[in-house]
Structure 1
């Protein structure tokens, strides 16, 4: 995910996203509240499942947004973007949804049935998985809060 009020849908979006992709590939870590991009790594599908099971959020921060036509595709569909207003709604909704409320929906059998990406092999691995999900969710909450505070749009790319 990237946030940056400079790109929106103007020409040059591809170049800006490529710059941020290069920075991500170089492994430049930033705290989510200061980052121009955020990777929730391979937790995206699990978080999406937990958010949906909880009733969703005002804005679907994992699979939502309007399509952003770019030259380069992604592995899991087109890039999408959220307007600054959508980012603000998403940030508010995420802030009102504590991870413990999501964790209550962690049902390994249901997630396997839904073919959620990269599940643990057995119940013994679930606590470690929940710890990682809690960390990534906290980063996501802080990232959207910072983007909303800056009045930025957010680009979403699943790869």
Structure 2
């Protein structure tokens, strides 16, 4: 299956799952919770307020292992000039954010992070539903974002939301 087929398939439109493709075109589905959705909005809003330009939730990226979907991503003006809103993107935006759900292992998350870097991401944030954040670069884990944005205070503040 191709990504355009997934998008066009009316039977897949209202599923309560995040959909991705593996390298063979098989559909992979992960449960999408409301807490995760709220974190996506908070992170995307923070990225736009802090860095300007545009953040995207559910950002589809073509990788050698199929289409992967970052929970949120930030795109520079240069990236958007090159790619517009092409779906899926042939390369990763500068910042990709993965909100790690309880159903994903650390190994699965690391694998996806590696794919984003292979596709050109400059930084990947791994966010737990508790609001804790890890910043990663191609060289490994970082103590802070090279983009000088810290989502942790914003996400800790939102923890009281039910």
Q: TM-score range, shorter-chain basis?
A: 0.3 to 0.5
- Higher RCO (CA 8 Å, separation ≥ 6 residues): 1
Q: Write 1 or 2 for the structure with the bigger share of helix.
A: 1
Using structure 2 for the length normalisation, give the TM-score: 0.32
